[in-house]
Amino acid sequence: MTTNFTERHAISPTEAKGFDTEQLRANFLIDDLFISGQISLTYTQYDRMIVGGAMPAGGALPLDPIKPTGTENVLDRRELIAVNIGGAGSVSVDGEGFDLGPRDMIYIGRGASVSFASADAGIPAKFYILSAPAHATYPTKLIRIGDAKRIDLGASETCNERSIFQFSAAIET
């Protein structure tokens, strides 16, 4: 099995106020997202969000079912977005392959079967994963970084210059 997971329970704001650094890190920091040859997921009780990472190193990594979803497949009642923050890679959705370069992303609708692969194991892809419950099914959509709208924030004279990229995925119903 290539999919590992941990589960996090919600912490009340009142309780979190009394946490020291070690307790904050233990309850909120998600580290070890990218482990070579594995998919690492953290299932949280914050809106049943899943945060994770996939780092394919040899062959394709299928997204295996995890117990907290209570379903046969992870995406039976969920949708997922994966952003490639590593080398070139691909995502297979129900057998259809999508090539993702660095900073490209893919939206995958409810019910799909998914696997992740790297184009070059020496420079592996690193897919940052977010998944949430879904109540409707939408088609898979590949969004390239070149199609994102760049938005510059702040002024270089008064602060650090920062840019964000706005991705727009037209969902066809």
Per-domain boundaries in the chain = 3-145
pLDDT, mean of residues 50-58: 93
Please say whether the beta carbons of 87 and 124 come within 8 A: yes
* Domain at 3-145, CATH from 2.60.120.10, 3.30.200.20, 3.20.20.80, 3.40.50.720: 2.60.120.10
Q: What is the pLDDT of residue 120?
A: 95
Q: What is the pLDDT of residue 106?
A: 97
Q: pLDDT-derived band of residue 87, with 50, 70 and 90 as boundaries?
A: very high
Q: Does the pLDDT of residue 173 top 70, yes or no?
A: no
Q: Does the pLDDT of residue 138 top 80, yes or no?
A: yes
Residues facing residue 118 across a β-bridge: 89
Q: Does the pLDDT of residue 2 top 80, yes or no?
A: no
CA-closest candidate to residue 127, choices 23, 73, 50, 26: 50
Instruction: Give the three-state DSSP class for 145.
Output: helix
Q: Parallel, antiparallel, or unpaired: how do β-strands 162-166 and 127-133 relate?
A: unpaired
Q: What is the pLDDT of residue 90?
A: 98
| pTM of this structure | 0.81
Q: Report CA torsion sign: 73, 9, 41, 172.
A: positive
Please say whether the beta carbons of 88 and 118 come within 8 A: yes
pLDDT, mean of residues 79-91: 97
What average pLDDT is seen over the chain? 86
